[in-house]
Structure 1
């Protein structure tokens, strides 16, 4: 089953959700600001994405600039920062089995169907 890591306050995230709904696809919605993924789960999703943790960080968020910018962080420290501050996670992420995409734009979802 498809899973979308979604923030309803984000326009791009809402577009990803709407894409799944318009296609009539069965999916699970995870509001990751409320249901924060564990470090292990986030590391797994990064593997599905084929991305380094830093590539998934929203570096323009104030919390990144205030607490982490300019620091030499390991991948595990970056993952921990995203779990502690889930606003830092780029969205939406759509997972299908062992494949995933950051659905920006929403049409990228078709790449994993």
Structure 2
């Protein structure tokens, strides 16, 4: 099953959702701002993305700039920042099995499928 971690207020996230619908793929929709990640879920998604936690952070968000940008943070601290402020998480994230992508641009979804 495919899962898309989605923020309906984000244009790129809406484009990713539309792409899945066009590709006629069954999927689960998870509005991660309404239903936040658990620590285990976020760590698992990062593992499936095969990236460092900082690569999942929206570093241009004011929350990041004001609270974290000038600090040297461990991976665990970065994950905790994303858990405390889910808005910091890049989107959309599409997961299929043991693989995941940040679907920016939306065409990356085809690579995952």
Same fold (TM over 0.5): yes
- Displacement after TM superposition at 1:77 (Å): 0.6
- Displacement after TM superposition at 1:112 (Å): 1.3
- Which residue of the partner structure matches residue 44 of structure 2? 44
Distance in 1 (CA, whole Å) between partners of 2:42 and 2:29 is: 16
**CA RMSD, Structure 1 to Structure 2 (Å):** 0.5
Distance in 2 (CA, whole Å) between partners of 1:52 and 1:77 is: 12
Deviation beyond 3 Å, 4+ runs, structure 1? none
Q: What TM-score comes out, normalization by structure 1 length?
A: 0.98
Unaligned runs of 5+ in 2: none
- Which residue of the partner structure matches residue 73 of structure 1? 73
Q: Does 1:23 align with 2:23?
A: yes
Distance in 2 (CA, whole Å) between partners of 1:20 and 1:28 is: 10
Alignment of 1:1-113 (within 5 A): 1-113=1-113
